Amino acid sequence: MGSGGYVICEYDSVKEDFPEFQSVLDALHVNLLAKAEADWSPLKFDRDHPMAPRAGYFGESTIIPSLFEDRVNVTLVTWEQWYDFVNKGMTIPGNNVIMQGANGGNMYEDYKVGLAGLVFLDKAIRISEIKMQISDKKLPRINIEEALAYNKPAIVFEDGYILDEETGFELQAYATTPGPQSIKLLGFQLNRVKDKLFTNAGSPLV
């Protein structure tokens, strides 16, 4: 998992531009499920009811923004943030943490995330480079200026990464201009405790 390779392509046609995408997702899914079943034994994955798992099972959902926080430890309720100095203390232009695990930089207990890539949902891209750290593993910097040629660019990893519970996650970026930016994490999320996903929309997933 996580060799460091990636492809920049148009999100709306990711399957055509990067035909290996489905195999990347499938391999990531298999590895994430195997890890979850080992770590959360005796629970098993509820393949028949992933969104509302039965007793004795764990479930699956899309990646929820509330698992993450911004650079000043405010839990995300959407993928959109506002890059600025006054409220976020950002250096613009400059390198900044723009997203991290919502538990003080770590991922919450009872969740595991399979990260397949990043999607930029805005037409204006306000960063030129990103880098990530997952636990103690620092990943190489990725220059994304090529992404400016796309309407809705995506960075798809040639392998996936697992964001494990109670481990660190940090996404840094070189911000070029202030303003709104929406960066969505592409992949899926496993949930050990069903009731934590039945709270109010936008609330933390503690």
Q: What is the pLDDT of residues 86-113, one digit of tens each?
A: 999 999 999 999 999 999 999 999 999 9
* 38/195 Cα distance (integer angstroms): 21
**pLDDT exceeds cutoff 60 at 1:** no
CA dihedral 47, 51, 55, 57 (to 10 degrees): 40
Task: Report percent pLDDT > 90 for the chain.
Answer: 78
Cβ density class 122-136: b for 16+ within 10 Å, e for less: eeebbbbebebbbee
* 114/50 Cα distance (integer angstroms): 15
Domains, the chain, in order of start with CATH, read: 6-19+65-187 (2.60.120)
Q: What is the mean pLDDT of residues 137-148?
A: 91
DSSP 75: B
